Amino acid sequence: MTAIPRVTFVLVSYNGKDMLTSCLATLAEHTPGPYEVVVVDSASPDGTGEWLEANLTGATVLRMPENLGFGAGCNLGVQHARTELICFLNADVEVTPGWFEPLLARLDATPEAAAVGSVLVFPDGRLQEAGSVIGGDGWSRGWGDGDADLSPLYPRSADYSSAACLLMRRRAFWETGGFSPEFHIAYFEDTDLQFHLRSLGWQIWVEPASQVRHIRHGSSTTPRAIELSNINHEVFVRRWPEALAKRPPAVGVHEHPHRLWWLRDQQAPYRVLLTADQVPDPTQGQGAQRAWAVIQYWRQANPEAAITVLATHGEATALRATGVEVSIVDNPTAWGRDRAGLYDVIVALGARGFPLAEAVSRTQPQAVRLLDTQTFLHREAERRFSTLPDAAARRRCATEAAAWREAEHKALTWAELATVGSPAELDWATRFAPAANLHVAPYPVRITPAPAGPDRREGLLFHGAFATAPTSNEVAARTLIDEVLPLLDGPHLRVIGAHAPDTLRAPGVDVIGWVPDPAPYLRTARVLVNPARSGAGVQTKLLDAIAHGLPFVTTSLGSEGIPLGDLRADLVADTPAEIAELTQRLLDDDARWTRIQVALLDLAATHLSEEHFHTAMAAVLIHCGIAPPTAAYAR
């Protein structure tokens, strides 16, 4: 069966046969089919129209009797399109490998978007435009013009994205009536169209995963181009007086950088800054899963909101791909000055993110100050103290604990509202900082439907992130291997987690290390074992096990903050012999194992679901004066 095309590419040509040929060649080379092509020639005096009719096969060629301009040509082309999607493409654009799939994916994933534009680059690879901002004077400013580094770009809702390469829903296009005939030849007709779309409730997005070369960008500086631009600017200003009156002019942005950031985010209902020392990566553990969940909640709460993460180091590609701006800086004070007065909310992601939040907040006096933490690091250090082998290590640990205690007390005092991961952390924080305003938002888990039963699982699993310095996870893993495993009837153990040390290798132990997703291991292991001797806060690894229907055995410390109730008798022990006994029972007794799995899944649905987290976070938004998302939007 022949696939039905979803998209028609509409090109308008005026002279420039060679550029048009190159555009069509790259389109054929780098675009997966099926698709349709409509080329409209605007009475080119150089014979382009005749050449198209004689040589272009597999496409619809339309010839206008006179040059009526880009907008009229596009309208004519769309009238001859049969597909649900239209992609406007300038004849002086060359598409690149993999350019189209990200546009289509973004439009499919964003039902509120009428159109998604590509990032335009110069032939040498420098950034030409990643969307534009429109000032109150009606003039636009391309975002990032001339930048050599494109990595900070992220998919976002924008004021305007050039129709040089713009994928659009055909029904949205016709809702506006198409390009207005008031505009002469070229310039501002696509800006006008996108203002019209916004007035109807649509969004315009820019997708940086799609990049195309725009060859003749400099032609906009010719005398004729300047004349047309000025003529059409007057038309545009006349058509949108009320919308433009709400915007500041795009002037003085070099002398006052905060004006440019305000222009970029002026249409956002609110702007949120979240700070962390390292860019959160949920595959690395150590609290990053919760930080990621908090960031994504803010991102999803309103797709028009501007969400920024500020960090000092880390890999940002995955987070940027979700539509979050990530800035990696070494001078947060200067960074904050450049964006003075921009943010409505500042969220410090744990004690490690607090120094950045504190520094930037001095330039954001209007912002609501929040702290979100899964655990208090001074408690983790204090508990680790007793596990250390020598006096020198204990002295270093005591110094670390004192420093974290001071920093975390300061962070709780700084925050207008602090969210913690469990009632246990809430109780501790209430005693530690009685004046703090505290709220519980439990880490959310996505419950696995119909997880495998005991007959489809085998072996033991240890799951936890490690680091270059000894961590509580390393102590727990070593306890499991050296003191618990020898007491069991020879089950195989797999160890997963970032930076897992080779020193854990032993007979019957498979040290796998970092995995992009622990789910395959959580779905197939028989028992997860975590003999935690130090640490603080809710153990995310245990919550993930619960969500996957995987019974576990841990210590009293490891179970802290998890409402196990009667399950504690089956899952919690504090000596290696007791841990081994509970583990062996789960390995041997299918009925016991199944009963516990059912109880854990019920616990997850009652206390740990995404809906439970969303409800708790909605209260945080209300505290900030922000309307929480409707149930229909939360996803």
CATH of the domain at 140: 3.90.550.10
Q: In 3D, which of 343, 352, 308, 351 has the Cα closest to residue 328?
A: 308
Contact indicator for 404, 396 with CB cutoff of 8 Å? no
375 phi and psi, to 5 degrees?
Answer: -150, 160
Are residues 475 and 431 both part of a single domain?
no
Long-range Cβ contacts of 509-514 (<8 Å, 24+ apart):
509/481, 509/485, 514/283, 514/284
Strand partners, 306: 271
Task: Find the distance separating the first CA and the last CA of the chain, reported in whole Å.
Answer: 35
Per DSSP, the three-state class of 582 is: helix
Half-sphere exposure of 63 (CA within 13 A, CB side): 13
Are residues 403 and 290 both part of a single domain?
yes
Are residues 399 and 528 both part of a single domain?
no
Alpha carbons 597 and 584: distance in angstroms, whole number: 16
Per DSSP, the three-state class of 279 is: coil
**Has residue 581 been placed in a domain?**
yes
Alpha carbons 151 and 211: distance in angstroms, whole number: 12
DSSP H helices in 415-552: 423-432, 472-479, 519-524, 540-547
472 Cβ contact list (under 8 Å, min separation 6): 380, 383, 384, 532, 533, 534, 535
**Has residue 211 been placed in a domain?**
yes
Contact indicator for 346, 411 with CB cutoff of 8 Å? no
Are residues 282 and 421 both part of a single domain?
yes
Q: In order along the chain (635 residues), what is the average pLDDT of each group of 10 residues?
A: 86 89 95 95 89 89 89 95 96 96 97 97 93 90 83 92 97 97 91 96 96 75 84 95 88 81 89 96 81 95 94 94 95 95 97 97 97 88 82 90 94 97 90 94 90 95 80 88 94 91 90 92 96 84 94 94 93 96 97 97 92 94 92 42
Are residues 16 and 164 both part of a single domain?
yes
Domain count, the chain: 3
Helix, strand, coil abundance in the chain, percent, nearest 5: 40, 20, 40
The angle, 0 to 180 degrees and rounded to 10, between the axes of the packed helices 590-603 and 540-547 is: 110
**Has residue 262 been placed in a domain?**
no
Q: In 3D, which of 341, 338, 315, 334 has the Cα closest to residue 326?
A: 315
Parent domain of 28: 7-249
Cα–chain-centroid distance for residue 264? 18
pLDDT at position 210 = 98
**Has residue 325 been placed in a domain?**
yes
What DSSP line would sit under 162-206, residue for residue?
A: -TTEEEEEHHHHHHTTSS-TTS-SSSSHHHHHHHHHHHTT-EEEE
A 10 A CB-CB count for 333 gives 12
Are residues 324 and 355 both part of a single domain?
yes
> Where is 292: in which H helix or E strand?
helix 288-301
Which of 377, 409, 440 marks a domain boundary? 440
The angle, 0 to 180 degrees and rounded to 10, between the axes of the packed helices 423-432 and 391-414 is: 90
Locate 332 and state its tokens: 């947060």
Alpha carbons 190 and 125: distance in angstroms, whole number: 24
Are residues 435 and 541 both part of a single domain?
no
pLDDT at position 169 = 98
Q: In 3D, which of 9, 13, 49, 6 has the Cα closest to residue 28?
A: 9
Alpha carbons 550 and 236: distance in angstroms, whole number: 61
- Whichever domain contains 358, its CATH number is 3.40.50.2000
Which of 440, 468, 485 marks a domain boundary? 440
pLDDT at position 288 = 87
Alpha carbons 420 and 375: distance in angstroms, whole number: 7
**Has residue 79 been placed in a domain?**
yes
Are residues 276 and 172 both part of a single domain?
no
Are residues 244 and 284 both part of a single domain?
no
Q: Is 556 exposed, middle or buried (0-12, 13-18, 19+ CB in 10 A)?
A: exposed
Q: Is 399 exposed, middle or buried (0-12, 13-18, 19+ CB in 10 A)?
A: exposed
pLDDT at position 287 = 78
Which of 379, 413, 440 marks a domain boundary? 440
Are residues 17 and 147 both part of a single domain?
yes
41 phi and psi, to 5 degrees?
Answer: -95, 130
Per residue in 589-628, is it b (16+ CB within 10 Å) or e — as a string?
eeeebeebbebbbebbeeebbeebbbebbbebbebbebeb
